[in-house]
Amino acid sequence: MDSLGHPLRSVLYMPGSNARALEKARTLAADGLILDLEDAVAPDAKALARDQVCAAVAAGAYGRREVAIRVNGFDTAWAKDDIAAAAAAGPDAIVLPKVESAAMVGELEALIEAGGAPATTGMWFMIETPFGVLRAAEIAAASRRATCFVMGTNDLAKDLQAAHTHAREPMLTSLGLCILAARAHGLSIVDGVHNDLQDEDGFLAACIQGRELGMDGKTLIHPKQIAPCNEAFAPTADEIESAHRIVDAFSQAEAEGKGVVVVDGRLVENLHVENARRLIAMKRAIEALEGTGASNDN
């Protein structure tokens, strides 16, 4: 979940130049949307995409989903115009590609504030280069608007000259360093995309691995990936039942002046209670999101 308690199990990229896709995104069950002005948009469609995306965001038609705009990078001619327009539209977040330093964060923040973005607009950073990974901690700490890391594993694999393996061993060091930095500074973090839309087993395995590593969710490239991703990153019924038993038993133990308690044969301390409460809060946040009718429309 993000800092405001919104689920980020599934975050779907949507091409900003495709008006039909922007409209359809209003009905999809993704927890978050990244409306893209960068990789998914051809150079001659950049201005159109910017206008369409910012108008859609300003209209506020995406319900409780987290809505972010991915702008073009600082090394392009479109970046400053993208950021100014996105700031004025007031999305939940602005996503900057290939973030590699605290200085880049500071430049983005200054442009966002100059563009009149509301205080609620956060900054999501694409971590997709070796320098981005190595400087993840300084990037995470560089701004009060920082709210999320988005792993760009395709570009990262290219720069590392690494293979895309089933178990993603070449990515684990980078993913782990970024998770550490995100958690140390209170940021959310979402995993990179799975490229093969026909590889359903591989996609599910990557989702499970991401959750086990500590990711909040995963970025997606197609609506068909939303449902399995949401399920993989949500607490199971058994986990929620166990969490309630832990919280209830510990509350009773505290009332009796005890600091620990045994639940289901296992010693439970305060750290286990914190995790149990986190799972319960996540379940409630998911139920609140799905109560808008977004969960089954696709």
pTM higher than 0.75: yes
Q: What is the mean pLDDT of the chain?
A: 94
pLDDT in tens, 178-221: 999 999 999 999 999 999 999 999 999 999 999 999 999 999 99
Reported confidence tier of residue 111, pLDDT bands at 50, 70, 90: very high
For every residue of the chain, which 3-state class applies, written as one string? CCCCCCCCCEEEEEECCCHHHHHHHHHCCCCEEEEECCCCCCHHHHHHHHHHHHHHHHHCCCCCCEEEEECCCCCCCCHHHHHHHHHHHCCCEEEECCCCCHHHHHHHHHHHHHCCCCCCCEEEEEECCHHHHHCHHHHHCCCCCEEEEEECHHHHHHHHCCCCCCCCHHHHHHHHHHHHHHHHCCCEEEECCCCCCCCHHHHHHHHHHHHHHCCCEEEECCHHHHHHHHHHHCCCHHHHHHHHHHHHHHHHHHHCCCCCEEECCEEECHHHHHHHHHHHHHHHHHHHHHHHHHCCCC
pLDDT in tens, 219-243: 999 999 999 999 999 999 999 999 9
Per-residue pLDDT averaged across 45-61, rounded?
Answer: 95
Assigned CATH for 10-233: 3.20.20.60
pLDDT in tens, 134-157: 999 999 999 999 999 999 999 999
Q: Where are the domains of the chain?
A: 10-233, 237-294
How much of the chain exceeds pLDDT 90, in percent? 84
